[in-house]
Amino acid sequence: MDQQHGAFTRRILTGTGTVVVKCPHCSAPGIFKAEDSADAASLQQWPGILVPPNDPRHNGYVGGTCPNCHKVRPPLSPPVTLFQQEIMP
Ligand SMILES: [Zn+2]
């Protein structure tokens, strides 16, 4: 527990994750989307990230080259630790 301005903050370890940022060139998401589950914005603006329904790449990282604009994407961040945080009265 960390004390913070007279209140307690409870932090619960929930696992690790990797931050996937959008493409700095065309703003495409950094993961593939199946055509049947993509939202309207993805369908219209970033057709390069779409994969056929049931394609195993669905929700997978697109890699170091953007599949939409074919420019270099930033590398993945190292894994980060994720916490659920509650401010206690
Ligand atoms: Zn791009």
What is the structure's pLDDT at 28?
A: 93
CA of 73 to the centre of ligand 1 (A): 7
pLDDT band at 3 (very low <50, low <70, confident <90, very high): very low
Distance CA 72, CA 27 (A): 12
What is the structure's pLDDT at 6?
A: 57
- Residue 15, beta-bridge partner list: 82
CA of 57 to the centre of ligand 1 (A): 17
pLDDT tens for residues 15-50? Answer: 888 888 999 999 999 999 999 887 777 778 999 999
CA of 83 to the centre of ligand 1 (A): 30
CA of 77 to the centre of ligand 1 (A): 18
What is the structure's pLDDT at 12?
A: 87
